Structure 1
């Protein structure tokens, strides 16, 4: 029998995400901000078994995510990303209808921390509008390292707008000394249960001097004042970043997979 898809309510999405708040932090954030379109598979009592955000990225979660294959084929999405098993279910069901992937990244570790590390005693602060021109090149370089696409060539105005929006929403932090970014990071998702960080970056001339570890400790301490957990995910082969996250006390809690189309 064919699985019937529904457009879930915000309440249904929030109940689903509460079961696994670290894995589903992005889905919950998008639902709370009413910024995305979702499809879901629900049981007879209305409880969701599977959920998928439908946008430039497809983000599946739950069991039986192959049910979203037809929607994936029509989506024009650039990436499928999320918990490893959910992405695999969707990709296996939809791969014949989608472009050949330019990158497939299984086993991307997700790290989290709920206890404050020791202070780093840095100049970490929230970014302001005056930092925009300094941040854009570093944000673009981090984006290129992560996804292999230069956003300043693909969509410069859109990328500038998104970087400014992160600053205005209080989702961007940095530590600058002598015109160099010793550390920067943004929040890609933020819910009452967790903050998910992205684009952790140090300008190349300032690397290998311990700045990132110190500043990350200070950022985690700041965020844990108001949110129970800080999390992020990383490419499996990015050993310098993995060593950084483990050095501040973050623990590997699950795995994501990314299929870049």
Structure 2
């Protein structure tokens, strides 16, 4: 079947994402917010066979993602991330143009939950701007643990602004006692069909006391009042996090792959 690379319309992107709303939650969120730039592989009937977000993170999806190599290289990304098959097709076709990877993370499980778990009875609440000074270093540490990059050294002002924006947009939640973060998390993507969480975090002195499982249950219950599904993904070697997500009732449904530069 003949296909061609196009700049997709928002309507095409949303129709494509509706076919797999969990796998494509980030792509749909970006499209609905009118952010970023997309390329797509279009079929003869004007539907999309593949889609790719082009930015600091290049996020491919679908079949035939090797077609995005040139566009991805021009974006000079810090990361390729997305459904494992799509990322693999793009990466294997574009190794020479995309440069040397510093990490290649295969088989990152994506967890999903659609039924509310039991209540955790925690003090979880939406983060407020008064929490900003507490959240910025915690978010930075979580970012470093995940990506081995200190955002407060790379772009301190930008990172603080992004943390503030998450609070202002209602995408940040926290539970604190005596200035200690017993749990925090943010929404990295939010669509009518799913919320994708990121940076689930407990201050190190407060870990291994059950705070995360209780607060995550409360957060999932809160979000399932607004959307049909809550999802997240995790590094394959992060056994404690995987146990946490399984404990609260989340199910492993697909795999992502991340290639970091």
| TM-score normalised over the length of structure 2 | 0.99
Q: How far did 1:4 drift?
A: 2.6
Aligned length: 261
1: CA distance between counterparts of 2:224 and 2:163? 23
Q: 1:101 maps to what in 2?
A: 101
Q: 1:208 maps to what in 2?
A: 208
SS at match of 1:61: strand
Contact 2:4 2:43 in 1 (8 A): no
Structure-2 change in CA distance of 1:114 and 1:2 (3 Å): closer
Which sections of structure 1, spanning at least 5 residues, go unmatched? none
RMSD: 1.0
Q: 1:28 maps to what in 2?
A: 28
| TM-score normalised over the length of structure 1 | 0.99
Determine whether 1:257 maps to 2:257: yes
SS at match of 2:50: strand
Tell me which moved more, 78-87 or 3-12. Answer: 3-12
Determine whether 1:132 maps to 2:132: yes
Determine whether 1:51 maps to 2:51: yes
Determine whether 1:220 maps to 2:246: no
Q: 1:67 maps to what in 2?
A: 67
Structure-2 change in CA distance of 1:98 and 1:17 (3 Å): same
Contact 2:2 2:43 in 1 (8 A): no
Q: 2:141 maps to what in 1?
A: 141
Which residues of 2 match residues 83-102 of structure 1 at below 5 A? 83-102=83-102
After the TM superposition, which parts of structure 1 deviate over 6 Å for at least 4 consecutive aligned residues?
A: none
